């Protein structure tokens, strides 16, 4: 019998880590964005996950930190970077980012997940490893999934006539205690 377990921002971590690119990359900040509202519904048969469905409110994404750059990332810069990210994601017309698994299979140290990711209305295949990590007070399941913005029709944000830009590939990090 399959039961559904739900996790969200109150019990797990979901982050997007960006990089910088361009001739002036050393001037830019590597940002961490986190959604304020998201949920993952995991279909479980016994102790084995059989399906994963994640919905992120893209409008709730905000820059929570930044590293690098010539100076530390200030609060006003965080606000501007958040607005730029939401504009790049076209959150007014595409308020949700969704992931739906098509298969979940046990692997040596966790699970192999295959499915489809929807961003800005574009649907692309997205497969990743979900691995067990030892942690206190309990083990966690974690993943780091590279996502190319251009695959979803997103033009990475840029400044200074394109010499400083957000790298096309971002990494989505998720961690949940099990």
Q: What is the pLDDT of residue 93?
A: 96
Q: Is the pLDDT of residue 1 over 80?
A: no
Measured distance CA(129)–CA(6) in Å, rounded: 19
Q: What is the pLDDT of residue 139?
A: 82
Tell me yes or no: is domain 2-177 CATH 2.40.128.110: yes
C-alpha 57, offset from chain centre: 12
Element (H, E) at 11: none
Going from N- to C-terminal start, the domains of the chain cover 2-177
Taking residues 133-140, what's their average pLDDT? 82
> What are the tens digits of pLDDT across the range 90-121?
999 999 999 999 999 999 999 999 999 999 99
Q: What is the pLDDT of residue 107?
A: 94
* 96-99 contacts at long range (C-beta below 8 A, 24 or more positions apart): 96/55, 96/56, 96/57, 96/58, 97/55, 97/56, 97/58, 98/53, 98/54, 98/55, 98/56, 99/52, 99/53, 99/54, 99/126
């Amino acid at each position: 019998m399959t039961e559904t377990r739900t996790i969200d921002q109150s019990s797990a971590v979901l982050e997007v880590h960006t990089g910088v690119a361009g001739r002036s990359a050393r001037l830019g900040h590597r940002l961490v964005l986190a959604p304020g509202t998201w949920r993952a519904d995991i279909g479980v048969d016994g102790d084995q996950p059989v399906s994963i469905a994640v919905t992120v409110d893209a409008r709730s994404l905000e820059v929570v930190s930044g590293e690098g750059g010539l100076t530390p990332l200030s609060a006003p810069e965080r606000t501007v970077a958040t607005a730029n990210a939401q504009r790049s994601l076209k959150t007014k017309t595409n308020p949700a980012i969704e992931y739906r698994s098509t298969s979940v299979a046990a692997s040596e140290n966790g699970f192999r997940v295959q499915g489809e990711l929807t961003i800005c209305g574009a649907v692309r295949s997205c497969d990743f490893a979900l691995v067990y990590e030892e942690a206190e007070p309990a083990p966690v399941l974690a993943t780091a999934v590279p996502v190319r913005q251009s695959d979803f029709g997103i033009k990475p944000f840029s400044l200074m006539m394109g010499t400083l830009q957000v790298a096309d590939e971002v990494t989505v990090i998720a961690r949940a205690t099990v």
